[in-house]
Amino acid sequence: MEMAGEVLEEAYALNPQMPHAAALMIKVSMCHCDDARREMRRWFDRATATCIDYVPAYNYISFGFWPRWHGSTEDLVAFGELCLGTERYDTVAPLYSLIALKSVLRSRDREDYGLLVKEERSYQRVASVLERYLQEPAMQDLKEYFHSHYAIWAHCGKRYEDAHRNLSAIDYELTPFAMRDWPNVNVQDLLLESATLGGRWGDEALKAERAYESRDFGAARTRFGELVEECESDPRAKTYVKNRLATIEMEDRLGNGGWVSFLPPKDFTGWRIDQGIWEVLPDGDLECVGDRGETALFCRSRVSSDFEIQGTIELPWAHEDSACGGASLFLGDLLWGKENWMSVTLTCYPEGKETCCYQHCFYRTPSETKAVLEKRNTIRLVCFNGSVALWINGAQVLEDVPPDEDVKIDRDDCRLGFGHKWNKKGNVVRYRGFRVRRLQKAPPSR
């Protein structure tokens, strides 16, 4: 780094009108400088003095102000104020006030951006920045980008009318360029909720939604039932209402304490496909085809964090020389944050190794336990008071594993799903006969 700093300082001296060397010196200052904060700011000022919207300079210094480096959340907020104070809406400078705001959460390993715009004053501050960009003549070619950002911020803050208005301005097509800044936003839910709760049926849909949230299933079923025909002309609103009616039905049955089928219907109403190729077979079994990436399918119904689930997972390729992959049961929601989910995964490796992997959050090291897997595997998973017990083919492989104190899974708003990572391309996984029930007390067999 010392040598890099010397070369970059020479490059800057040769042509101080170019921002490149000065911006890279921000990175050097982060890693090799006794007074990093002062040096980062000095080189940032030099980089932006001649090119106020040189993006790398903003990226480097905002990262340098993270608490894990040389700053604090207060520094991130102050940097955002600095960017906002430029009033240069013909450049990216004020936009970095919003990026700095997001960094406050990300620096804490949180990504629930709704917390940032929960209060009306905070939301209006974000909205005013984006309104100024939309009105800026020099930014008219990027209107779709700013409408996309506006819609996402509004949805995060549950300002559904604003989300619907901005999505309508871009024909409900979020720009990929904007989505790069929001990797954990679920586009399906954003579009469906904005169209329904922020559109022409918004008032009635919100009343129905409040009844559902308070678990007044009778009122919710009636109100959503009345909306089915009314929103026939809007496919998004119709899909949202049908999904909600399906979740109401399932949650009502779960509340009675009995077993409930835990496999989706053929059209996946009441479920959410996040990733992967999923299909409901004619016999009702669920099938997923691996494509080397991640797969995830969630039930939209709130099961609760005290539950028992049983079923059969079929791995047709198990014990083959090239076997690589597996299947998972997820608890929580992989798309919001990094600390509100857990999973158990059955995995086969090419060398014949077979394991059950239990994991809390992306940043926690998973714990692996040896398991004997077959092409068809019976599964019984029990979660109660945060502890986990798991049986595979009748043998207990996890016994009352205690919860991680840092994992924050909402007890009453907990959802389950299927999926896995790293499945070999073409590998098929089938889920058969799954059923679930809520638990009021630990099962006797525990």
Q: Where are the domains of the chain?
A: 2-193, 200-256, 271-438
What whole-number distance in Å separates Cα of residue 190 and Cα of residue 149?
A: 12
pLDDT of res. 335: 46
The one-character DSSP state at 299 is E
What whole-number distance in Å separates Cα of residue 60 and Cα of residue 344?
A: 37
- Mean pLDDT computed over 221-230: 93
Instruction: Pick 293 or 433 by higher pLDDT.
Output: 433
195-213 as b/e, with b when 16 or more CB fall inside 10 Å? bbbbbebbebbbebbebbe
- Mean pLDDT computed over 321-331: 73
Residue 299 has pLDDT above 50, yes or no: yes
What whole-number distance in Å separates Cα of residue 13 and Cα of residue 2?
A: 17
pLDDT of res. 99: 87
pLDDT of res. 292: 63
Residue 349 has pLDDT above 80, yes or no: no
- The fold of 271-438 is Jelly Rolls (2.60.120)
pLDDT of res. 348: 77
Distances in Å between the Cα of 22 and the Cα atoms of 9, 352, 400, 422 are: 8, 53, 55, 41
pLDDT, tens digit, for every residue of 73-127?
888 888 889 999 999 999 999 999 998 888 876 655 566 777 788 889 889 999 9
CA-nearest of 206, 347, 190, 197 to 274 is: 190
pLDDT, tens digit, for every residue of 162-173?
999 999 999 999
> For residues 66 and 104, is the Cβ–Cβ distance under 8 A?
no
The one-character DSSP state at 277 is E
At 161, the pLDDT band (50, 70, 90 cuts) reads very high
pLDDT, tens digit, for every residue of 239-292?
999 999 999 999 999 999 899 999 999 999 999 988 888 999 999 999 998 766
pLDDT, tens digit, for every residue of 362-418?
445 567 778 888 889 999 999 888 788 899 999 998 887 776 666 556 666 778 999
